[in-house]
Every structure is written in structure tokens, then in C-alpha cells.
Amino acid sequence: MSYRSFSFLPNINHNSAFSNRFNQIDKIFSTLTGEKPISDTPPYNLIETNEKKYKLILSIPGYKEKELDISVHNNQLVIQGKKEKKHQNNEKINKYLNKDIIFNDFSLSFNFDHKIQVSKANLSLGLLELIFEYQIPDKEKPKKIFINIPNNTQIENK
């Protein structure tokens, strides 16, 4: 299976000091320019369970089912989140002393070489889990070519 994600976030080990620096620089740049931070894309795992079946797990804590939209069209899987803009329990917030939890809208897209069929989508404990099958047409699957050797032309061992 091959896919191409639209994420511009470099592949960084999240345990490294460089990863934290990248996120800090990204936040500073987005504050100065008014652009959405690159690191706002939710982290995900893409797991191959067998040759045809895959599992995609997104970390999206705080999102409800009605705030998510999942679609598949022309070999592209798109997952979008639009957070309702309400304060929890209708509390009035006077002043944040620290604000690290931000519920920004997100969109994550994957382009696949062939069609996929999502068979299951679960949202539990802040993790969205999609189970899908990669559908390769029979004409594009590799085929084993057998070599026929006629009985009368076999090479004899001496």
C-alpha cells in the first residue's frame, strides 16, 4: 500500500528536544503572521494489520462525533474536525493564566493509489479509529507466471 499525506509537518521524534523547538518556532511564526500553525494537525498512527486491511488512529481529544466529518472520494480519505465554539458548562472565562489546550478546526487528507473502503469508525477516549480495506483491482494485482516444460524435452541428469 502506498499513500501520500498532505501534512507539511516534518517527521520528528517527539521525544527529542528538536521536536519541542519546532513546535515553539511554529507557534511564534503563526502568531506573527496570523497563519494556522503547521503542528495543529492531529497526530496519527497508520497500521497495516494484513496485506489488505489497515487501521488509522487519530488523537483528537475533546471532539464529539457530530464535530467530525469523514469522507472517501476518488482514492482520497479526508477527515475534518470543526469544534463548536462554546465554553465548557457555559462558564464565563475572565482571563487565561495558561492556554495550551486549543480546539482548532483541522483537516487531514490521505491520497491512496487505489480505492479504499472504510468498514468501521470508532471514537473513544479521544481516539478516532478507522478500519479500512485497500481495494486493488484484479487486473492490477501481481500474477504468478508458471513455466511449462513439455515432458519430452526435459533435460536428463547424467
pLDDT of residue 92: 74
- For residue range 38-80, list pLDDT tens digits in order: 666 788 999 999 888 999 999 999 999 999 999 999 889 999 9
End-to-end CA distance of the chain: 47
- For residue range 21-41, list pLDDT tens digits in order: 666 676 677 777 777 666 667
Lay out the sheet containing 106-112: strands in order across: 3-5, 106-112, 76-81, 68-73
pLDDT more than 90, % of the chain: 32
Residue carrying C-alpha cell 493564566:
97
pLDDT more than 70, % of the chain: 70
pLDDT bin (cut points 50, 70, 90) of residue 1 is: low
pLDDT bin (cut points 50, 70, 90) of residue 151 is: confident
Would you give the DSSP letter of residue 157? P
pLDDT bin (cut points 50, 70, 90) of residue 85 is: confident
| 75 φ/ψ sector (left φ>0, alpha ψ -120 to 50, else beta) | left
Task: Please compute, for residue 59, the number of CA atoms within 13 A of its CA located in the half-sphere on the CB side.
Answer: 6
> Would you give the distance in Å from CA 54 to the centre of its chain?
11
- For residue range 9-20, list pLDDT tens digits in order: 444 444 445 546
pLDDT of residue 9: 41
Residue carrying C-alpha cell 502568531:
31
Q: Which domains are assigned to the chain?
A: 42-85+103-134 (2.60.40.790)
| C-alpha dist (Å) from residue 4 to 7, 53, 113 | 9, 17, 9
**pTM for the full model?**
0.62
